[in-house]
């Protein structure tokens, strides 16, 4: 099986389980309907309880401004579309607390905890709540995204195909020289609960490569302590001369126990293209509403095809140009052509103070057609 589709297929297999988890954790269909809450916080909890039960009609019925909000667009906010990450996710639970309450208008913050096929995903929203007829109801933001007119986007990107393989061959079975890749850097970073290796790898060849980076830790006597790989914290498909950050996590290990690190970079020849082009704009380091250090920005899909699951990987550098951290995050929304979508990835506060520059790479996953 082509590794490019491994993640989407695994997500598909997990979808049924995630839906079942959401159903049983919510106690089956949510009881009652939103719209009769005595407090602003209660109104948000009732709406989210209906959403957790995937009872979108009841959640929508409890909004204060239904006439301004499209029902299907509201449901897609939580159920996903275009095979995005939320189509392979379930809302497990949520936290709700008030930020400001007036006589007829309140602001409530909700932190939504999703379980997805690639791990946990949190979504923080500040919601306005109105008091109407003695009851509090959520005032949902209207979707004012610009709808682009039909247009023609020229296809002029580079593309590499692999020929000469038998259709029955297993993926990765190749009778050609492997592409030349090289690890540019490796830095060991000790965290409170783990030892982390970060760095960069480059494809030095003239053909695309599917790359993986692994590491083995050895003690003073040359005995292997642990072996791990970068898994998804790397851009696996590298075009010629392209560079990717990587990160390898070793849980519950300390740097003092390691004498030597043995790195291993593997590469396979793969078909690839330079499309879709995903631009990264408005990047900045800031503090999010929960007080965490994050790198935020916008992704814009410059191609004519939908990108279902964007995956952002960021390498951070100190004043000497050394990679001191690599963070990543999946974007819940799909990237529609020409429509900017925000992203945010976490950064440890003790690392953030030493960051001088950074570089953002974007993976993308689509369901096989």
Same domain, 357 and 284: yes
**Average pLDDT of span 75-91:** 92
Q: What does the buried/exposed string (b/e) look like for 106-134 if buried means 16 or more CB atoms within 10 Å of the residue's CB?
A: bebbbebebbbbbeebeeeeebbbbbeee
Q: Give the closest residue to 42 by CA, choosing from 96, 99, 85, 6.
A: 96
The answer to whether residues 188 and 196 touch, using CB atoms and an 8 Å cutoff, is yes
Higher confidence at residue 211 or residue 145? 211
Q: What is the pLDDT of residues 136-158, one digit of tens each?
A: 999 999 876 666 677 777 777 88
- Which CATH number characterizes residue 201's domain? 2.60.40.3230
Domain span at residue 355 reads 276-365
Same domain, 234 and 316: no
CA distance 110 to 308: 25
- Which CATH number characterizes residue 334's domain? 2.60.40.10
pLDDT at 259: 95
Given 248, 272, 296, the domain boundary residue is: 272
The answer to whether residues 185 and 322 touch, using CB atoms and an 8 Å cutoff, is yes
pLDDT at 366: 81
Same domain, 26 and 130: yes
Same domain, 237 and 283: no
What is the 8-class DSSP label of residue 335? B
| 151 found inside a domain | no
Tally: H helices and E strands in the chain:
5, 19
pLDDT band at 19 (very low <50, low <70, confident <90, very high): very low
Domain count, the chain: 3
Q: What is the pLDDT of residues 100-138, one digit of tens each?
A: 999 999 999 999 999 998 889 999 999 999 998 889 999
Q: What does the buried/exposed string (b/e) look like for 155-178 if buried means 16 or more CB atoms within 10 Å of the residue's CB?
A: eeeeeeeeeeeeeeeeeeeeeeee
What are the residues whose beta carbons fall under 8 Å from the beta carbon of 103, sequence distance 6 or more?
131
| 35 found inside a domain | yes
Query: pTM here?
Result: 0.82
Q: What is the pLDDT of residues 265-278, one digit of tens each?
A: 999 999 888 888 99
Query: Which residue, chain included where needed, has tokens 């007036």?
Result: 102
Q: What is the pLDDT of residues 292-326, one digit of tens each?
A: 999 999 999 998 889 999 999 999 999 999 999 99
Q: What are phi and psi of 8, to 5 degrees?
A: -60, -40
| 337 found inside a domain | yes
pLDDT at 172: 54
Q: What is the pLDDT of residues 21-36, one digit of tens each?
A: 444 444 444 444 555 7
């Amino acid at each position: 099986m082509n590794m490019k589709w491994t993640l989407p297929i695994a997500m598909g297999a997990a979808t049924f389980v995630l839906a079942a988890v959401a159903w049983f954790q919510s106690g089956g269909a949510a009881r009652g309907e939103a719209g009769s809450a005595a407090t602003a916080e209660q109104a948000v909890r009732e709406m989210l309880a209906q959403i957790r039960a995937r009872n979108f009609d009841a959640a929508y019925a409890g909004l204060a401004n239904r006439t301004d909000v499209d029902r299907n667009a509201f449901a897609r906010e939580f159920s996903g579309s275009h095979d995005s990450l939320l189509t392979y996710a379930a809302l497990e639970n949520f936290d709700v607390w008030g930020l400001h309450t007036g006589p007829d208008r309140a602001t409530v913050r909700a932190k939504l905890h999703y379980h997805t096929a690639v791990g946990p995903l949190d979504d923080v929203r500040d919601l306005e709540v109105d008091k109407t007829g003695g009851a509090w109801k959520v005032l949902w933001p209207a979707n004012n995204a610009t709808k682009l007119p039909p247009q023609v986007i020229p296809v002029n990107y580079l593309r590499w195909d692999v020929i000469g393989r038998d259709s029955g061959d297993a993926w990765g079975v190749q009778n050609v020289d492997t592409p030349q890749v090289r690890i540019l850097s490796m830095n060991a970073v000790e965290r409170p609960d783990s030892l982390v290796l970060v760095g960069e790898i480059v494809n030095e060849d003239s053909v695309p490569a599917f790359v993986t980076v692994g590491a083995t830790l050895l003690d003073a006597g040359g005995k292997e302590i642990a072996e791990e790989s970068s898994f998804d914290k790397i851009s696996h498909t590298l075009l010629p001369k392209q560079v990717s950050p990587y990160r390898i996590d070793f849980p519950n290990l300390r740097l003092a126990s390691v004498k030597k690190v043995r790195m291993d970079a593997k590469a396979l020849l793969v078909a690839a293209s330079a499309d879709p082009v995903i631009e990264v704009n408005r990047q900045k380091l800031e503090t999010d509403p929960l007080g965490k250090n994050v790198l935020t920005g916008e992704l814009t899909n410059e191609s004519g095809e939908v990108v279902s699951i964007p995956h952002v990987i960021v390498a951070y550098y100190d004043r000497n140009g050394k990679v001191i951290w690599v963070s990543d995050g999946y974007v819940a929304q799909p990237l529609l052509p020409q429509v900017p979508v925000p992203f945010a990835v976490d950064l440890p506060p003790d690392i953030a103070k030493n960051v001088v520059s950074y570089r953002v790479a974007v993976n993308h996953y689509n369901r096989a057609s």
